[in-house]
Structure 1
Amino acid sequence: MSPINDSSTATRNKHLVLDGFTRFAAGDIDVLRTLLREDFVEHSPGNPSGRDAFIAYIAEAPVARARLDLKRVIADDDHVVIHHLMTTDDDPRGVAVVDIWRLAGGQIVEHWDVVQPVPEAAHVPHGML
């Protein structure tokens, strides 16, 4: 098996998602206009599909005003997985989030996520993140 080089699909997709995550975490919601394909499919309950509907929804959602602390990134061909901590002033312990993004042609075409509230440290002696 040959090593992955910087021109691999996984590496390109990882850089694309990381750049988008960094910009979004800094408050740039408009980055989603170029990152998401117009027919973007959202798999999270209650979140709309379609780029424009999803962006309008996210702009009003708590994540748009939260602090996002990246913990790890995993890339495999057309999928990129981001594990991060999302906190707000009202919820300093926050939630652990795993986002799974599928990309095609340099844009995100699908998204899944798993969100779990972070309990008190005594309940997770080895940490969650």
Structure 2
Amino acid sequence: MTTSASVEANKALVMRAITGVFVDRNPDVVDELFGPDYRQHNPQIPNGTDAVKGLLKQLPENFEYKPGLVFAEGDFVAVHGRYVGWGPKPMVAFDVFRVANGKVVEHWDVLQEEVPASEAVNGNPMFPIGRS
């Protein structure tokens, strides 16, 4: 049975993991917070924690990540984030993680090139941080 305390613990774990990897670029976070059988569902990234550590080494100097909204239900945590330097244009992503036994064990994502609000036909930003 999932409790609100365990959902909040899962959210905190995922935020520590994603911040440790993409903001701090700390490979030790992978050993500490990711499960040994970590499964990746992004078709461009292999399974396993070594793949995450390898990805860290490939991030360009100008790479930036900003987490936004965080949602959780049971063992699943989703983060709406913004990646700069992942591709030629900033990317807005919806990352979904599964947590088991206090570790991040699985990941899915959907990435989309960011369109500035000034160029959007609706005038709305794709990333809600800083929105009034």
Tell me if both proteins adopt one fold, taking TM over 0.5 as the criterion.
yes
Counterpart in 1 of 2:94? 98
**Preserved contact between residue 83 and residue 90 of structure 2 (Cα < 8 Å):** yes
Q: Secondary structure at the match of 2:16?
A: helix
Pair 1:34–1:88, CA change in 2 (3 A) = same
Counterpart in 2 of 1:110? 106
**Preserved contact between residue 48 and residue 57 of structure 1 (Cα < 8 Å):** no
Partner letter of residue 14 of structure 2? Answer: V
Counterpart in 2 of 1:36? 34
Offset, 1:86: 0.7
Equivalence map 1:7-86=2 (5 Å): 8-24=5-21, 25-52=23-50, 54-62=51-59, 66-86=63-83
Partners of 1:46 and 1:28 in 2: CA distance: 21
TM-score normalised by L of structure 2: 0.80
Cα deviation per residue 1:58-95 (whole Å; 9 max; x = unaligned)? 1233378621111110111101101111113985x510
Percent identity, please. Answer: 26
Cα deviation per residue 1:9-43 (whole Å; 9 max; x = unaligned)? 11111111112222221222321111111111111
CA RMSD of aligned residues (A): 2.4
Q: Secondary structure at the match of 2:83?
A: strand
Partners of 1:90 and 1:111 in 2: CA distance: 19
Partner letter of residue 99 of structure 1? Answer: D
Count matched residues: 122
In structure 2, runs of 5+ residues without a counterpart are: 128-132
Offset, 1:119: 1.9
**Preserved contact between residue 30 and residue 53 of structure 2 (Cα < 8 Å):** no
